[in-house]
């Protein structure tokens, strides 16, 4: 059951990442910020590969495994680009719940493609997470954010969709390869995709305008992302995706707590009820 510890470790580091990234992005272009963060993740992930000595397995990776690792990397890159754009436009305590709702779609996809059964507790969990997410984003916005509300919501939803695809592709991709090596290979794909988007959008020159503070927080968010990934795909390698994913989504608790103390983002009573429903729904899935 060691995979359970890795799953909870993934949740903690992912929760911290959201707040660090929110601060790091600031007024910088979100696509460029994502690309810069990914460099840190890439270095960290390959460092872990050489520490555990799995680099020798590269030549043994099958075409099927490589294909799903690439698909996982592409969906991760798409999810990241959408997620950090949503974070830039909206509040962390609103974007995070929508992103974590990818659990619902992941369970459905795991049932369809991986043959993982959907039990009554999982159905209860789906209902709890869905209802809780709606309550958490129901608060009306005023001022300048009212104009941007539709944008952050769209990016947050797309982030959740791509995140669920990442979990399924990742589960298949790491089945026959050492998890650290699988993570490192995926990161190469994410990095290539992120920088391609930077150059296509012509934002590469904006790197000069990034402040030292943003550089520092982007670096830290890259480290915590790397730690979260290493834990997550280690857990996926040994545990069922329909259980690992809900545990990982508990990162919302860490995110909400950090956003309250660091970003001073407060929850309404309705949002608190929504958060509790998400936690209850997630807990139900674990049984």
Residue 269 CA from chain centroid, whole number: 26
What pLDDT score was predicted for residue 287?
A: 67
Range of 186's domain?
2-285
Tally helices (H) and strands (E) across the chain: 12, 0
Which of 110, 103, 98 is closest to 126 using CA atoms? 103
Average pLDDT, the chain: 87
pLDDT above 50: residue 179 = yes
Name the DSSP letter for residue 205. Answer: G
Cα angle at 144 between 100 and 22, to 5 degrees?
Answer: 40
Its pTM stands at 0.78
Choose the weakest-confidence range: 1-5, 32-36, 113-117, 198-202.
113-117
What is the pLDDT averaged over residues 259-277? Answer: 88
What is the pLDDT averaged over residues 40-55? Answer: 92
Who's near 63: CB < 8 A, 6+ residues apart? Answer: none
Asked whether 114 and 55 are in contact (CB, 8 A), the reply is: no
Q: Work out how many domains the chain is built from and give that number.
A: 1
* Gyration radius of the chain over CA positions: 18
**Dist. CA 79–CA 162, nearest whole Å:** 5
Name the DSSP letter for residue 20. Answer: H
Share of the chain above pLDDT 70, in %: 95
- Tens-digit pLDDT profile for residues 107-156: 888 888 888 888 888 888 888 988 988 888 765 544 444 444 568 989 99
The CA–CA distances, whole Å, from 220 to 90, 145, 189, 251, 269 equal 21, 27, 21, 17, 32
SS3 91: coil
């Amino acid at each position: 059951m060691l995979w359970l510890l890795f799953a909870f470790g993934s949740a903690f580091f992912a929760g911290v990442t959201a707040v660090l990234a929110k601060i790091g992005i600031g007024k910088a272009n979100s696509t460029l910020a994502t690309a810069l963060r990914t460099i840190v993740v890439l270095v960290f992930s390959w460092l872990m590969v050489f520490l555990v000595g799995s680099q020798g397995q590269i030549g043994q990776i099958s075409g099927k495994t490589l294909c799903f690792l690439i698909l996982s990397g592409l969906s991760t890159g798409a999810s990241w680009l959408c997620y950090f754009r949503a974070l830039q436009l909206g509040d962390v305590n609103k974007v995070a719940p929508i992103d974590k709702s990818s659990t619902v779609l992941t369970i459905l996809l795991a049932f369809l493609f991986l043959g993982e059964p959907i039990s009554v507790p999982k159905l209860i969990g789906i209902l709890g997470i869905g209802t809780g997410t709606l309550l958490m984003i129901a608060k009306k916005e005023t001022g300048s954010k009212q104009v941007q509300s539709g944008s952050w919501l769209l990016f947050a939803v797309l982030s959740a969709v791509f995140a669920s695809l990442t979990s399924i592709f990742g589960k298949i991709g790491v089945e026959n390869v050492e998890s650290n090596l699988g993570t490192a290979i995926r990161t190469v794909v994410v990095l290539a995709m992120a920088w391609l988007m930077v150059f296509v959008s012509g934002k590469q020159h904006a790197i000069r305008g990034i402040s030292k503070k943003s550089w520092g927080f982007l670096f830290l968010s890259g480290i915590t992302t790397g730690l979260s990934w290493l834990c997550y795909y280690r857990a996926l390698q040994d545990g069922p995706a329909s259980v690992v994913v809900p545990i990982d989504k508990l990162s919302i608790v860490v995110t909400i707590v950090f956003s309250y103390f660091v970003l001073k983002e407060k929850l309404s009573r309705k949002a608190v009820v929504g958060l509790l429903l998400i936690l209850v729904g997630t807990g139900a899935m674990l049984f």
